[in-house]
Amino acid sequence: MNTNFAYFPNQRLLFLGCKDFFKSEKSPLEEIQLFIDKHQGKYIFTALGYDLKNQIENITSNHIDVFQFPDLLLFVPEQVIKIEGEDIVVLEGKKEISEFGRTVINKIIKSCSVDFPSASLIPFIEKPTYIQRVKEVQSEIQYGNCYELNFCQQYVAKNVEPFDTFGVFQHLYQKTKSPFSVYFKFQEWEVMCLSPERFLQRIGNKLISQPIKGTIRRGVNELEDLQLQNQLKTDIKERSENIMIVDLVRNDLSKIATKGSVHVDELCAIYQFETLHHMISTISCEIKSDTDFIDCIKSLFPMGSMTGAPKKKVMQLIEKYEVFKRGLYSGSIGMILPNGDFDLNVVIRSLFYNNSNKSLSCAVGSAITKKADPEKEFDECGVKVGKLIQYFQS
């Protein structure tokens, strides 16, 4: 068995090895669906890079690419294992678990100490440049070129020697308990994703999307925590951002929804996480039974919470004002189930390690509107990324 694997802690599912995979830079989207159809009835790991947008919307990306991840990766694991406490159940593949598999399982079951590598994660752009770019984005909004744009920046450390990325992920997950967290290692790529956000879920003929727009820190005590929740709930700027993306998702869903089925199930609800409060809305629709995976991706990817509105125009402006290639960041990781259902996250709050070029990176962003305060947006990015990079010391 090879050492590629993926772990979804909330589902307690471990994908071990790789029986078959599809890795694409510019393959037609139809080829992706052919791979999925070929492995119907199997678990399929999925990782969709943000730049898959280039095929959907005919856009180009020419920025620096540190992580060098393909536009898309799908793989069929050799084994799928469910871990419940110390009970190990093989759902798919050989019943016998390899030595490598048992090593991974032991790391999951047992609490182990981990050494973080010495690494200085440095932002690609300094604060004055960030603020200037945000002001330029606001000028685009003022001119009517867009309404909201998710502006992101990247932090990078170079020459980082190989380290226990899975151990680091396990440590960070225990701190955040983010519901859409996932770790995977495939060839030279190692991803530690602590995502709180669902992009898209299919259950039968129902699609569900849950965009996050609006973030505030947790309080130091219960009273401050309640005050901060109320502050976020009543923040006009945060609510307007969220509602704008809800409208965008409704529009995207309507492309494949059955008539009259698009529904906002929950608007601007405040959810508590271990380190942050988030404002989340839930939008759903019904689709025809013959709607396939790629139909859904063509209609909704990339997610509006990581682009802005109108989607195609802001994606063009993102290429103009950002200085790095997003790659897997603000893409999606998830799984397709044997029955054809799937669940995909939004790749945020993530660390990316390329063990070939020894680069460690992470990225962070926030929604820019006409009323956004560039200083506050910079601070919000600091809150989001701080929990990831605080453990790495040079």
What does the pLDDT look like over 58-115, one tens digit per residue?
888 889 899 999 999 999 999 999 998 888 999 999 999 999 999 999 999 987 788 8
Q: Tell me: the pLDDT tens digits for 285-337? A: 999 999 999 999 999 999 999 999 999 999 999 999 999 999 999 999 999 99
**Contacts (Cβ under 8 Å, ≥6 apart) of 215:** 232, 276, 277, 278, 279, 366, 380, 383, 384
Q: How far is C-alpha 66 from the geometric centre of its chain's CA atoms?
A: 17
From 385, 265, 216, 293, select the one nearest 29 (Cα to Cα): 293
Measured CA distances, 340 to 37, 44, 236, 337 (Å): 10, 10, 40, 5
Q: What is the pLDDT of residue 107?
A: 92
Residues 83 and 100: their CA atoms lie apart, in Å, by 16
Taken in order of first residue, the domains within the chain and their CATH numbers are 5-389 (3.60.120.10)
Q: What is the pLDDT of residue 74?
A: 97
Q: What is the pLDDT of residue 177?
A: 92
Measured CA distances, 214 to 154, 245, 367, 384 (Å): 20, 11, 9, 11
Residues 45 and 328: their CA atoms lie apart, in Å, by 14
Q: What's the pTM? A: 0.95
Length of the chain: 394
From 67, 148, 71, 125, select the one nearest 315 (Cα to Cα): 148
Q: What is the pLDDT of residue 293?
A: 97
Q: What is the pLDDT of residue 280?
A: 97
Residues 46 and 335: their CA atoms lie apart, in Å, by 5
Task: Write down the H helix ranges in the chain.
Answer: 29-38, 53-57, 99-109, 127-142, 165-176, 222-233, 236-254, 293-300, 311-321, 374-389
The chain-wide mean pLDDT, for the chain, equals 93
Residues 309 and 370: their CA atoms lie apart, in Å, by 13
Q: How many CA atoms, within 13 angstroms, populate the side-chain half-sphere of residue 237? A: 14
Given a cut of 50, the residues of the chain with pLDDT beneath it are 1
Joined together, the tokens standing for residue 236 give 């006009």
Q: What is the pLDDT of residue 393?
A: 65
Q: What is the pLDDT of residue 85?
A: 82
Q: What is the pLDDT of residue 2?
A: 66
